[in-house]
Amino acid sequence: MPEEREHLVTAEEAGRRLDQVLAACWSDLSRSRLQKLIAAGLVRAAGRPVRARDRAVAGARLDVTLPDAEPSTLAPEAIPLDIVHEDEHLLVVNKPPGLVVHPGAGVRTGTLVHALLHHAPQIATVGGAGRPGVVHRLDKDTSGLLLVAKTETCYLRLVAAIARREVARTYEALVWGTPRAASGRVEAPVGRHPVDRQRMAVTERGKPAATRYRVLEPFGWAAHLECALESGRTHQIRVHLSHIGHPLLADPVYGGGRRRALNLPQTVRRLIDAIFAVLPRQALHATRLEFRHPETAGVLRLEAPPPADFAAALEVLRRSAVGSASEPPSACPGDPGRSPSR
């Protein structure tokens, strides 16, 4: 049955946008969710549907209807899962590289969502029908921890917590070159590339985004970094690191492919060949998640070490006597390199 809620507008709330008033009233409902409910006519004042830009009137009663989630029509598939944490409200999986999170263009079966539906059928009515239960996403070739809600209430609260930056997401990355500063912060808006719509870019028309990084191990022409998200834009870490001249190893989309090694000494090129032989995908792993459980209020701190391919590439770097001998150029001709500014 749909859930019904109501709120009586106070004098302090008068004059504010209705979606802002309701979002402040119920932390488990994001503004985007409320705007969708308003657009669907499910938020009413005095029995009449309201608009998101309408202003609140003191003493008015706002009625909100939360419909049952649209069930997923995807078929469950018995795909093994590496579950790091699970309880009745949520679970955290360690996604392997190469596994697509949810169906999309050209991928209809064999995704993480299909596996989740087999393991926890109740998520079929949680969140979006095409990506049930999935609170945030990882790229196909990015490995690591991914958060999944098993109930609609938990889903809404976790999404709201991410929006409030209350979910700490930490990654490990292998990049070209070593940043001059041992730690830093990249703040640059991220949006669709103005020409290649399959890529993202730093662009004035993008959404605000910030990434913090720390050098864990410098190798001269390469480095092992820790990266923390302050926002969650598509491909954010990949775009931001490329933007500052340090794209991920084995990420040709954002300037981290083999072409970057053309001007390096032969000894270093042989080392790069050895790394690419064991790491056939972008060197990015979601290694830690820390957040407050939306139901128990306890703090969860979860970790997953990088998978074998990432670990093997890092070991090649550590063993190499030439690892700190050469510093590569910041970009190679023809590489995407730095993202366009508009």
**Cβ contacts of 41-44, under 8 Å, gap ≥ 24:** 42/66, 42/67, 43/18
CATH class of residue range 168-290+299-319: alpha beta
Are 159 and 94 in contact by the 8 Å Cβ rule? The answer is no
Q: Which helix (H) or strand (E) is 115 found in, with range?
A: helix 112-119
CA gap 125, 317 in Å, rounded: 46
Distances, alpha carbon 127 to alpha carbons 69, 135, 167, 261, 317, in Å:
7, 8, 18, 44, 42
Q: List 134's β-bridge partners, or say none.
A: 148
Which residues of the chain does CATH 3.30.2350.10 include? 83-163, 168-290+299-319
Single out the catalytic residue among 28, 139, 251, 335: 139
Q: List 83's β-bridge partners, or say none.
A: 93
Say whether 313 sits in a helix, a strand or coil: helix
Structure confidence at residue 308 (pLDDT): 98
CA gap 227, 239 in Å, rounded: 13
- Amino acid letter, 332: C
Residue whose tokens read 């550590």: 318
Tell me the pairing of strands 284-292 and 143-149.
parallel
Tell me the pairing of strands 210-218 and 222-229.
antiparallel
Q: Give the homologous superfamily in CATH for domain 3-66.
A: RNA-binding S4 domain (3.10.290.10)
Distances, alpha carbon 157 to alpha carbons 103, 113, 311, in Å:
24, 20, 34
Question: pLDDT tens per residue, the chain (342 residues)?
Answer: 567 889 999 999 999 998 889 988 887 787 877 888 888 788 899 888 888 788 999 999 999 888 766 777 899 999 999 999 999 999 999 999 999 999 887 888 999 999 999 999 999 989 877 889 999 999 999 999 999 999 988 988 888 788 888 999 999 999 999 999 999 999 999 999 988 978 999 999 899 999 999 999 999 999 999 999 999 999 999 999 999 999 999 999 999 999 998 888 898 899 999 999 999 999 999 999 999 999 999 999 999 999 999 999 999 999 984 444 444 444 343 344 444 444
CA gap 160, 28 in Å, rounded: 6
Q: Positive or negative CA dihedral for 132, 135, 141, 145?
A: negative
Q: Tokens for 14, please give them.
A: 């008068």
Structure confidence at residue 164 (pLDDT): 82
Rg (CA), the chain: 23
Q: Tokens for 259, please give them.
A: 């072409």
Q: Residue 128: how many CA atoms within 13 Å on its side-chain side? A: 12
CA gap 155, 158 in Å, rounded: 5
CA gap 6, 61 in Å, rounded: 7
Structure confidence at residue 2 (pLDDT): 64
Best CA proximity match to 50, nearest among 18, 4, 14, 11? 18
Best CA proximity match to 130, nearest among 98, 110, 156, 104? 104
Q: List 55's β-bridge partners, or say none.
A: 17
- Amino acid letter, 6: E
Q: List 27's β-bridge partners, or say none.
A: none
Q: What CATH topology corresponds to 83-163?
A: Pseudouridine synthase (3.30.2350)
CA gap 196, 287 in Å, rounded: 30
Active site residue 139: yes
CA gap 111, 115 in Å, rounded: 7
Q: List 168's β-bridge partners, or say none.
A: 290
CA gap 96, 287 in Å, rounded: 12
Are 74 and 134 in contact by the 8 Å Cβ rule? The answer is no
